[in-house]
Amino acid sequence: MNLPWSFWRWVHALVIVLTLLVSIYLARWAIGVLYSAGNLVAMLFFAWLLQFFLTPAVDQLQRLGLSRLLAISGLYAVVGLALAGILAVAVPAAYIQGLRLVTALSQPATYAPITNATLGIERVLVQHFHVPQAQISSFTRDYSVNLQHGAIKAGTQLQRLLSSQFSSGYLSGSVNSFLGFVGALNTALLDFVIVLILAFYMTLDGHRLVREALAYFPPATSEVLDEVRVIVNRKFGGYVRGQITLALCYGVLTFLVVIVFGVPYPVVVAVFAAVMMLVPFIGTFLAIIPALLGYMLAHATDPSFPWLGLVILLLLLGAAQHLVINVMAPRVMGGAMGMHPLTVLVGLLLGAEVAGLWGAIFGAPIFGVLLDAADLFYRRLRARREGGKPPTSGTGTAQLGSRKGTRPAQVPDAAPGSARPAISGSPLGERA
């Protein structure tokens, strides 16, 4: 039976609509599954990030003649002992310094420089600018008093909270709270152990699992998927390693500066500064505050507050941030990710606009993956139309990041449909 062409056109449109509806339903189902298994997805994600740190060292040890299993086990043992030693030294010191900090915040004498400064500003305004006393005394004095009272109240509450939470009387009298705290701590430790185990097996057998998964696809498709995998692992691995490196460098520089200036609580200040460097936008400003606050606390009881020293400390911390952000970061991130600093900034801004804080943190590698993947697909489609090999120069981040010390995204030499090249040996990532 010959049906009119309009009938088949409507059938084709109906098939498209049904396909879209099924796709939307499947997408909602997948999102629901991911949401219900959010803890598992988070553990897999953090294990995937952790193996980026392990893979280069394991590959290097394997090239020296060790088996992969022995290299990973030895690396875990060394890193575990090092972290245990660091925690044994840093945690008690940070706790003691934190108690001293909240104690100092609860003392009225801590805020003597604020009072002296506001009174000095008031005298200058009255004597040199002839501002009426009634117009400025209420503002300056009330601001100083309110600031002192608010900070003293906060410091007293923090001190009382820490003392009560860790006192034997509180723990013995609040069994349920203590058991809840122990349960939460046990859950966090269990999740951490699971992440370590997952990262161990990802580093050990990830490359084999990827090879087996790609074997289910046709050669041309598996070749493209392998190239996308290399792009994803290089962008994310380079970004994470680069961010951690920059944060540690700034933490060390902050520690050295505050030690020279005699700022109290140097461990707390340095750790806080390093962590804040991982937070985009506001982190760079927040990283300076503890050092300045510690300097003010150290000289709160001095007859004459050393404002010049405070200014010099601020300039040195700003210089350290300039060194890390403007000198080290372009070279570290460009070499690790193969991206131009402008591309990294655009990805960060887009991620912050779309997904907030987490988008700002991971926006740069995701944007780099999208650009390089689009560049890869474009060159392959153009090569298929022209019937030749894909061009060796790209138009995405590979070209934007073509500078000394970087390398473009890999481009397969074989035409689509040819035999798939061997899978890289490093787990879930590009071999060093």
Could you tell me if residue 260 is left (phi over 0), alpha (psi between -120 and 50 degrees) or otherwise beta?
alpha
pLDDT value of position 255: 92
Lowest model confidence (mean pLDDT) among 127-141, 224-238, 308-322, 345-359: 127-141
pLDDT digits (tens, 9 = 90+) for 265-278: 788 888 889 988 88
Residue 11: exposed, middle, or buried by beta-carbon count in 10 A (0-12, 13-18, 19+)? exposed
229-238 mean pLDDT:
85
Which two three-digit tokens encode residue 45? 């994600």
183-206 mean pLDDT:
84
pLDDT at 179 over 80: no
**Contacts within 8 Å (CB) and 24+ apart, 200-206:** 200/72, 200/76, 202/47, 202/48, 202/51, 202/427, 202/428, 203/51, 203/54, 203/55, 203/58, 203/72, 203/427, 204/68, 204/69, 204/72, 204/427, 205/427, 206/51, 206/427, 206/428, 206/429
pLDDT digits (tens, 9 = 90+) for 40-92: 878 888 888 888 778 888 888 888 888 888 988 988 898 889 888 877 877 77
Residue bearing the bigger pLDDT, 371 or 175: 371
Quote the percentage of the chain above a pLDDT of 70: 72
Supply the mean pLDDT for the chain. 75
pLDDT value of position 111: 64
pLDDT value of position 155: 55
Q: Which letter does DSSP use for residue 302 in this model?
A: -
pLDDT digits (tens, 9 = 90+) for 107-131: 666 666 666 666 666 777 777 777 7
pLDDT digits (tens, 9 = 90+) for 245-265: 889 999 999 999 999 988 887
pLDDT at 172 over 60: no
| SS3 category, 395 | coil
